[in-house]
Amino acid sequence: MTIKEAQEAVDRWIKEYGVRYFSELTNMACLTEEVGELARIMARRYGDQSFKEGESHDPSEEMADILWVLICLANQTGVDLTEALQKSFEKKTKRDKDRHRNNPKLKA
């Protein structure tokens, strides 16, 4: 599935099952909530926290939740995520093409 296809699929799902998009501010809060859920799993899996009984150990579900809400926000604010990601690659390449290679902290 391409990013464009994902944006179209989420839009179709919202129209068929979601009635309408939540407001942009509600979705922003939902995005923050989902990032927090991913942070909880990462802190337990890779950090010093331990899992509580019954908690999910799988970050993929939260990553998908984050992507879903981000796509909702893109759709309702008119952002083409394919184009935006391409621009981000260009920006990072121009800005950082030598920066990380020259960072001694990144060398083993």
Tally the residues of the chain: 108
If one asks whether residue 63 binds Mg ion (CB under 5 A), the answer comes out as no
If one asks whether residue 67 binds Mg ion (CB under 5 A), the answer comes out as no
- Pinpoint the alpha helices (H) of the chain: 3-13, 24-45, 59-77, 81-96
Binding segment toward Mg ion, per CB under 5 A, in 23-31, 34-42, 67-75, 76-84: 34-42
Residue 46 one-letter amino acid = Y
Residue 63 one-letter amino acid = M
Binding segment toward Mg ion, per CB under 5 A, in 11-19, 37-45, 46-54, 70-78: 37-45
CA distance 38 to 33: 9
- Residue 55 structure tokens: 């908690």
To Mg ion, the closest distance from the beta carbon of 67 in angstroms equals 11
Among 8, 11, 37, 80, binds Mg ion (CB under 5 A): 37
Residues in contact with Mg ion by CB under 5 A are: 34, 37, 62, 65
